[in-house]
Chain A
Amino acid sequence: MTRLSDIPVKVEFKQLKESNLAIAKFVLQNIKAALEDWLETGRPGAIDLKNVPRMAPETYDYLKQALGAGETTIMIEAMARVEIRETQYPGVWWVTHINDRGDTVTEIIEITEIPVILKPHAVDVRAGLQRLESALAEPGSEGSSVALN
């Protein structure tokens, strides 16, 4: 039986100005080149969309739709907010930094395995390990989840 989700849906773009379309396609070409480079050399890439000339709102929309949505969406809440959305192309992430007023600070397309902001830093991991060791060393902590909190 055909379900609603089985019906392919193709979004029709409204007619982009030729210049905006050229810019969007050029960004896509850069993403393609960065993906090829990453696979070949292991070097990650990043495209700061705020520094792409003449990024009109419709160009953003076009890019978002052209890159589509992948399986993973992550939200970081650390006073500021960071939305990380995997695109339909594995390894291509749309990273949006939002300040505490809710304004978009910058939008970056990262071409990498995992965006660096997600990866724990070794210093933080060591500090966390120390906290865990301290918690375990506290009297009565063995077998008690309360004491570890």
Chain B
Amino acid sequence: MNTELREIQDASVTGMMSAEEPTLSEATVRRLQEWGVSRRRFLTYCAGMASVMALPQALVPKLAAAATGTLEGAAVMAGKPSVVYMSFQECTGCLESMVNSFAFGGGEQIENLILKWISLDYQETLMAAAGKQAEDHLLAMTDAARAGYVLVVDGSIPRLQEQDKDGKPGYGYFVSGGRSGVARFLSAAENAGLIIAVGTCASFGGLPHAFPNPTDAMSIDDVMREYGVNKPLVNVSGCPPIPEVITGTIMYYLLKGMPGLDDLKRPTVYYGRTVHEDCLREENFDDDGLFTTSFDDTAARQGACLFDLGCKGPVTHNACARVKWNQGTSYPMLSGHGCIGCAEPDFWDMGKLGPLGDKQGFYFRLTKALDYDGHGRGRACNSCHDGDGF
């Protein structure tokens, strides 16, 4: 069986097919009537969201019920799922990406329905509280009595490396509210049901971790391993991640449970394929295909492959070419720029891994012998390929 058929068969298991009629519950339709929202308009919205999030269409009623606060069973008793969002060494680009994920379509109320699905209980940039009130609120929201919340983390965390006068580890390069980054994370993680590392900094260390890593920055996975935090972790990498992938991962967990993960703990529904595989220029990635030699040349405008300009699409797992950016408008290769591999570990340092061993920045050209194997710069990739190249 060839690769394409195997993939499509896999897809039929993970979301392509569904075999239930997506009928909304009476409670959901009554709520829509109260809001004055057209049921058919709302169904369209939910069908689109399910599609973007790679959820089966059969889950549309559940998605609709969650969006309207009419989900039946345990979820109603527990109230809306609580999300605590903490930031460490980061640039706020991930949050900026996430808050832009809701403008999926028109409709004054529908645009903001994501905030009806979850209760965003702590986010330093968005909330009004500051100082002691904010700290008290964080401790209250992460208390054992509220165990099971989703902890979203962006940014890397510097290792505790300085010693105070008592010989105990100091704050390292991060302190907030009188606590180190490590202490803040460990405290919040203690009662979390799921931890989602959003962005490449949280997932793999990202920019703070890049050579020479002056703060000794660690990924969330590293912190959890070092301090023995045994909680489910999902990495949503990207610099920033695609907005719909961030919210989609949260919704997937809430509606379907833990998503399948690749060997870097990323959801395979979004990171199971390389951006190269869904790229519109992929059809030119043949021996007799059309390749560009400079940005925006005639060939580039005709859909030529950007591989010779250093595109990292063949080794980068993400959904850019499938989900696209800016509400489905475009993605880098469609706009004429190659992928820089921002969803993969150590992408800031990849210039050091160029074929000549010298630092060449983001634009060095991949070579099959040095860079293809394992699809992850030396790591085996068992989730989506057989490691047999292209």
Contact = CB atoms under 8 A, between A and B. Distances in A.
A53 B15 contact: no
Interface stretch (B6-14, B130-138, B145-153, B338-346): B6-14
Interface stretch (B44-52, B213-221, B256-264, B368-376): B44-52
Contact of A43 (B11, B19, B54, B322): B19
B44 A48 contact: no
B231 interface: no
Contacts of B322: 50
B48 A43 contact: no
B382 interface: no
Given A80-B105, A99-B104, A117 B7 contact: no
Contacts of B48: 97, 99, 105-106
A123 B30 contact: yes
B236 to A, nearest CB: 18
A46 interface: yes
Contact of B21 (A57, A79, A116): A116
Interface string A95-126: 00101110101101000100011000111100
B58 interface: yes
B287 interface: no
B328 A103 contact: yes
B227 to A, nearest CB: 38
A27 B5 CA distance: 10
A105 B4 CA distance: 24
Interface residues of B, number: 51
B312 to A, nearest CB: 19
A103 B14 CA distance: 25
A99 B107 CA distance: 10
User: Which size bracket describes the interface of A in this complex?
Assistant: 35 or more
Interface string A6-21: 0000000000010100
Main secondary structure of the interface of A (DSSP, over half): mixed
B308 interface: no
Interface stretch (B32-40, B164-172, B174-182, B188-196): B32-40
B349 interface: no
Nearest to A119: B23
A54 B277 contact: yes
Nearest to A108: B57
Interface in B69-110: 104-107
Interface string A73-101: 00010111010000000000000010111
A56 B4 contact: no
A23 B328 contact: no
A50 B39 CA distance: 23
Question: What are the 8 A-B residue pairs with the smallest beta carbon separation, nearest first?
Answer: A100-B106, A105-B48, A106-B51, A123-B29, A99-B105, A78-B41, A78-B40, A80-B44
Interface of B: 2, 4-5, 7-9, 11-12, 14-24, 26, 29-30, 33, 38-41, 43-45, 47-48, 50-52, 54, 56-58, 104-107, 273, 277-278, 280, 283, 322, 327-328
Given A46-B57, A99-B48, 8 more contacts: A48-B16, A52-B8, A53-B8, A53-B278, A82-B44, A105-B48, A108-B51, A117-B44
